[in-house]
Amino acid sequence: MTCSLIILYHSITWRSMRTLIGILVFLSLGLSTASATSVVAVRDDDEIVIGADSKTTLTRTGGDADGPESIAKCKIVQTGNLFFASAGFAGIGPAGPGGDVDPEFDLKETIAEGLLGSGGIAGKVGNLERVLVADLTRIAEEARRDNASFFLKRFVRHPVHTFIVGGLDNGELVLMVRTFRLLISPSGSLSFEIGRFACPGDCRTSFITIFEGQTEAIRNYLQDHELFLHFADPVTAVRDLVGLEISKDPSSAGPPIDILRLTKKGAEWVQRKPLCPDIQKTSSLPEGETGQ
Residues 163-216: tens digit of each pLDDT: 899 999 988 999 999 999 999 999 999 999 999 999 999 888 878 888 887 788
Return the pLDDT at 158.
76
Return the pLDDT at 26.
34
Which residues are CB-contacts of 216 (< 8 A; sequence separation ≥ 6)?
1, 2, 3, 245, 248
Name the CATH superfamily housing domain 3-271: Aminohydrolase, N-terminal nucleophile (Ntn) domain (3.60.20.10)
Return the pLDDT at 36.
63
Return the pLDDT at 204.
81
Amino acid at position 221, single letter: Y
> 190: buried, middle or exposed (CB in 10 Å: 19+, 13-18, 0-12)?
middle
Return the pLDDT at 55.
83
CB 207 within 8 A of CB 44: yes
Q: Say how far apart CA 10 and CA 17 lie, in whole Å.
A: 11
Average pLDDT, the chain: 77
Q: Which of 46, 50, 41, 32 is closest to 268 using CA atoms?
A: 50
- How far, in Å, are 52, 239, 259 from residue 255 at the CA level? 9, 11, 12
Question: In what side-by-side order are the strands of the sheet with 55-60?
Answer: 69-72, 55-60, 100-101
Q: Which residues of the chain have pLDDT under 70?
A: 1-36, 57-69, 89-106, 283-292
Return the pLDDT at 8.
60
Return the pLDDT at 27.
37
